[in-house]
Each structure stands twice: as structure tokens, then as C-alpha cells.
């Protein structure tokens, strides 16, 4: 752990953040690519109902990230803070507890989705044209693939919490690349015509299974020389540790859940304007993820550095990491606005050639892209408060962003402006959220006795 202590405590901020964030950014981009690959390969059928099916199941799949955040974010940030305070035995027990709690939760979620599949898809706005395709996809990626998806992401978070960002990112990247390779094999070679959506789902499930096998092997090897463990050795984490896991993990999970709910609302409102509009907005919601996933990678790279230096009392280094990471992410967000505006038609045609879907998607993407830098500012602030163990503030920001601004504005803007209003809502909601988040940030700094700055 000595080389990791140097990374956390003394290495230059750009280099330390690069070591932690670059592998995470790469893995986030590969995850994005394999998510886009499903949509791209399904789009080769030029069947908007198949594309719409993948879009409608996405919120259900995102619930696996909700579960991961409880134990991956809640446990991972706690582990980094415990190491910063020198409490390595407790960090070991926390790592083992988080793995087993994630596994149990994943099994329950997969079984629940199997039980209520059809009514759930109807609730999400699935039409008769889309239902059978959506059931194929959901069975593969959630019922069969839920456990490997949740467990692999949780194991990745544990590895990243102690500075093994490259190993964590390699597993996610490997799974993503395997998914890209398996997509055309299952969709166009092994399964008959009409089962392309099932083929995409099987490819995702198998790639996540391969990733979790890699993570289990890597995690076990890491346990020989680090604090990570698979067993608690007869003693559970303290009640204070469990409280800390859930005080940060639950708000982090709620943030993803509310983001997921927001996408459900978007799908429901969009489906009221037609299946073509639904297919177009589904592609846009995935296409806009490129700069957002880079931003998430930067934030995930920052979190262990922020958490460690907060607990060790090195405020100056903590602030330097946050300022540098935020500046890089904001620059990327601003550049992406220009690129998406000019290349929106080309981006849509990459996914589907249907003229109507391309036309609607171009309009939608040009509107949504203005939210990109604002979304990164929201993400960075949420990850900052999670890193320093401020679960209450993390929960507040999640609720304000989605329940106070985003979802109510979606209904209002849809009523006033139709689909145009839906796609412009994100920028308006996140502008309001940024203002609130910086007020919360200033209050935290004042309470901690730090200089109130940005």
C-alpha cells in the first residue's frame, strides 16, 4: 500500500487524478460503447419497435446501478476514509460485508423482475408493437444477467476505493469489448430473424458474467496484499460503519433511482407522441452519454482521493483535486455542446437510417446537448459530498435535481411545448440544480471552517 499512499498523499494532483481517472474514463467509454452497440446493432434492422424496446428496458437495467451504488459507493467511499484514518481492519470487514450484501440484493431484484415482468413493462409505456421485444431483452439482461451486472460493478468499486483503478477499469472494459464482439454473433448468426433484441440481451448477460469471473479472481489476488477481503473473519463491521455505508450509499442509490425515474417519465411522455419519437429520444439519451460518461469517469477517479485526504485532514490537497477535476470536466462538457450541435444528423444516422427517426433525433440532440456542462457540475458536486461522507446533502441534491426541478418541469414543458419541451427540460432543470448545489457546497465549507470559495 506504500505506493498507493504516495499517490493519495504526495503525487502531483494532475498525475494522481490521471492515474485514478484515466482508467475509469476508458472503462466508462467502453461501457458506453457496448450500450450504444446494442442500440446500433438493433438499429441495423431499421425496426423502430426493436429500438424502442431496448430504450424502455434501460430504466429497469439502471436499477442494477442503483443497487450497486448502495454498496459500491457507500462502501467504497467509507473504505477510503477508513484507510485515511488508519483503520485498516475495519476497512477489510466493510469490503467483505459490501460484497455479500450486493450479492443478496441482486438475487432478490432478478427474481422480482421475473415475477412482474409484463405489468412492469406495461407501466413503463410499452405498446403492443414493442412488448414482445422488450420481454426478450429484459429476461436476458435483468433476470439472467442481474447478479453478474451488480456484483461486477460492486467488486470494481471496492478495487477502485484502494487505488486499484486500472484493475477495476480493465474488468469493466473487458466485459464491454466482449459484449461488442458477441452482439453481431448472437443477433445475426446464431438466432433467427426477429430475435435480434434477444441476441443483444444474451450478449450483454454473457459479457457481464465474464467480467464478474475476472473480478472475483482479481479481488481474491488483491486480498493477499491489501485490506480487501471476501470474509469478515467472524466479526462484522461496526454499527457506525453500517450506518456510514447506508448514509452515503442510499442517497447515491436514490440519485440513480430518481435519474432512472426521470428517464421513465421521458419515455412515458414521449410514447404519447408516437413510437418514432420514442425511438428517437431513446437514441438521443444514449448518444449524449459520451461526454457524460467521461465526466462520470473523472468524478469516480476523484472520489477516493477526496475521501482519503478529507479523512487525513489534508484540506489543501482535497481542494486542489476537486478544482482540477472540475475544470477538466467542465471544459469537456463545453466542447461537446459545439460538436453535438454540428454533428447531430450524422450521429443519428450512425444508429438508424429511418428518415423520420433521424429528423426527430437531430432536433432532440441539439436541444439536450446544452445540458451537458451543467450535468457535469451537478455530478461533480454530488460526488464531492459523497466522498466526504455527507449523505444528507447528497440525498438533498438528488431530490432537488429530479423531484423539485426535472420531473415536474417535464410534465409542464410537455404540456406547453410537446416533445420540444421534453428535450429542453434537462438544461433548464440542471441550471437550477447547479445554483442550489453551490449554495449547499458553500454551506458545507462554512460549517467545516474552510474558506468559502469555488
Distance CA 216, CA 200 (A): 25
Q: Distance (Å, rounded) from C-alpha 147 to C-alpha 106? A: 5
Element (H, E) at 29: helix 13-43
Say if residues 92 and 227 touch (Cβ distance below 8 Å).
Answer: yes
CA distances from 135 to 73, 104, 180, 266, 338 (A): 30, 24, 21, 20, 38
Is the pLDDT at 34 greater than 70? The verdict is no
CA distance 37 to 203: 11
Q: What is the DSSP letter of 371?
A: G
The pLDDT value given to residue 453: 67
What's the pLDDT score for residue 324? 95
pTM for the whole structure: 0.80
Helix (H) / strand (E) containing 213: helix 196-222
pLDDT above 80: residue 28: no
Which pLDDT score, from 0 to 100, does residue 192 have? 85
Distance CA 119, CA 102 (A): 26
DSSP 272: T
Q: Where are the domains of the chain?
A: 2-448
pLDDT at 2: 53
- Helical spans, DSSP H, in 275-406: 275-287, 289-312, 315-351, 355-368, 372-387, 391-399
pLDDT(331) > 90: yes
CA distances to 248, 272, 284 from 363, rounded to whole Å, are: 38, 18, 10
Helices 239-271 and 88-115, packing angle to 10 deg: 30
**pLDDT tens, residue by residue, 285-319:** 878 888 888 998 899 889 899 999 998 889 999 99
**What is the average per-residue pLDDT within 233-249?**
87
- Tell me what the pLDDT averaged over the chain comes to: 88
pLDDT at 245 over 70: yes
Q: What's the pLDDT at 377? A: 94
pLDDT score of 4: 66
Share of the chain above pLDDT 90, in %: 43
Closest CA to 289 of 426, 429, 147: 426
Rounded CA separation 68/281 (Å) = 26
Where residue 108 falls among pLDDT bands split at 50, 70, 90?
very high
pLDDT score of 3 = 58
454 falls in which pLDDT band (50, 70, 90)?
A: low
46 pLDDT above the threshold of 90:
no
Name the residue among 313, 316, 321, 380 with its Cα closest to residue 81: 313
Mean pLDDT value across residues 28-36: 72
What average pLDDT does range 383-400 have in this prediction?
90
Q: Tell me, what's the pLDDT at 30? A: 74
The total number of residues written for the chain in this structure: 454
Mean pLDDT of 138-166: 91
pLDDT tens column, 192-210 = 888 888 898 899 899 999 9
- 3-class secondary-structure state, position 284: helix
Confidence at residue 320, expressed as pLDDT on a 0 to 100 scale: 93
Please report, for residues 91, 307, 343, 345, 411, the alpha-carbon distance to residue 82 in angstroms, rounded to integers and kept in the order given: 6, 9, 46, 49, 43
For the chain, give the percent of residues with pLDDT over 70: 98
CA 286, 298, 7: angle at the middle one, nearest 5?
A: 155
Residues 6+ apart with CB under 8 A from 119: none
Please determine, for residue 452, whether its predicted confidence score (pLDDT) is greater than 80: no
pLDDT value at residue 397: 92
pLDDT at 100: 93
pLDDT attached to residue 216: 93
Burial class (CB in 10 A: 0-12, 13-18, 19+), 309: buried
CB 168 within 8 A of CB 106: no
Nearest Cα residue to 200 out of 141, 283, 149: 141
- What's the mean pLDDT in 437-444? 93
48, 71, 78, 135, 208 from 246: Cα distances, Å: 41, 8, 10, 32, 26
State residue 255's pLDDT score: 83
Given this model, what pLDDT does residue 253 score? 86
Amino acid at each position: 500500500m506504500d505506493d498507493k499512499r504516495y499517490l493519495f498523499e504526495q503525487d502531483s494532483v494532475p498525475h494522481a487524478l490521471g492515474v485514478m481517472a484515466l482508467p475509469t474514463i476508458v472503462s466508462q467509454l467502453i461501457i458506453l460503447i457496448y450500450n450504444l452497440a446494442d442500440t446500433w446493432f438493433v438499429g441495423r434492422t431499421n425496426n423502430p419497435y426493436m429500438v424502442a424496446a431496448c430504450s424502455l428496458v434501460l430504466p429497469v437495467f439502471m436499477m442494477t446501478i442503483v443497487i450497486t451504488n448502495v454498496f459500491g459507493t457507500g462502501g467504497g467511499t467509507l473504505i477510503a476514509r477508513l484507510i485515511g484514518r488508519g483503520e485498516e481492519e475495519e476497512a477489510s470487514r466493510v469490503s467483505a460485508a459490501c460484497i455479500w450484501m450486493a450479492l443478496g440484493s441482486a438475487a432478490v431484484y432478478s427474481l422480482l423482475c421475473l415475477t412482474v415482468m409484463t405489468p412492469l413493462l406495461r407501466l413503463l409505456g410499452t405498446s403492443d408493437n414493442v412488448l414482445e421485444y422488450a420481454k426478450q431483452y429484459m429476461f436476458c439482461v435483468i433476470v439472467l444477467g442481474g447478479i453478474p451486472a451488480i456484483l461486477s460493478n460492486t467488486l470494481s468499486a471496492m478495487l477502485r476505493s484502494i487505488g486499484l483503478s486500472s484493475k477495476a477499469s480493465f474488468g469493466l472494459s473487458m466485459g464491454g469489448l466482449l459484449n461488442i464482439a458477441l452482439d453481431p454473433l448472437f443477433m445475426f448468426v446464431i438466432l433467427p430473424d426477429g430475435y435480434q433484441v434477444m441476441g443483444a440481451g444474451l450478449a450483454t448477460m454473457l459479457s457481464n458474467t465474464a467480467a464478474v469471473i475476472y473480478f472475483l479472481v482479481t479481488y481474491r489476488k488483491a486480498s493477499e496484499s491489501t485490506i480487501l477481503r471476501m470474509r469478515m473473519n467472524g466479526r462484522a463491521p461496526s454499527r457506525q460503519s453500517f450506518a456510514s455505508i447506508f448514509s452515503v450509499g442510499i442517497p447515491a442509490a436514490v440519485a440513480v433511482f430518481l435519474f432512472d425515474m426521470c428517464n421513465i417519465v421521458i419515455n412515458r411522455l414521449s410514447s404519447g407522441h408516437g413510437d418514432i419519437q420514442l425511438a428517437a429520444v431513446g437514441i438521443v439519451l444514449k448518444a449524449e452519454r459520451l461526454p457524460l460518461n467521461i465526466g462520470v469517469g473523472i468524478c469516480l477517479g476523484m472520489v477516493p482521493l477526496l475521501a482519503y485526504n478529507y479523512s487525513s485532514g489534508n484540506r489543501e490537497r482535497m481542494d486542489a483535486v476537486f478544482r482540477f477535476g472540475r475544470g477538466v470536466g467542465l471544459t469537456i462538457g463545453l466542447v461537446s455542446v459545439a460538436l453535438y450541435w454540428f454533428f447531430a444528423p450524422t450521429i443519428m444516422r450512425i444508429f438508424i437510417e429511418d428518415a423520420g427517426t433521424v429528423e426527430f433525433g437531430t432536433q432532440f440532440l441539439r436541444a439536450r446537448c446544452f445540458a451537458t456542462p451543467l450535468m457535469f457540475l451537478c455530478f461533480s458536486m454530488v460526488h464531492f459530498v459523497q466522498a466526504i461522507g455527507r449523505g444528507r446533502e447528497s440525498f438533498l441534491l438528488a431530490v432537488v435535481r429530479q423531484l423539485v426541478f426535472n420531473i415536474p418541469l417535464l410534465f409542464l414543458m410537455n404540456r406547453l411545448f410537446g416533445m420540444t419541451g421534453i428535450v429542453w427540460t434537462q438544461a433548464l432543470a440542471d441550471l437550477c440544480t447547479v445554483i442550489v448545489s453551490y449554495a449547499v457546497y458553500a454551506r458545507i465549507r462554512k460549517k467545516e471552517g474552510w474558506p468559502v470559495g469555488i
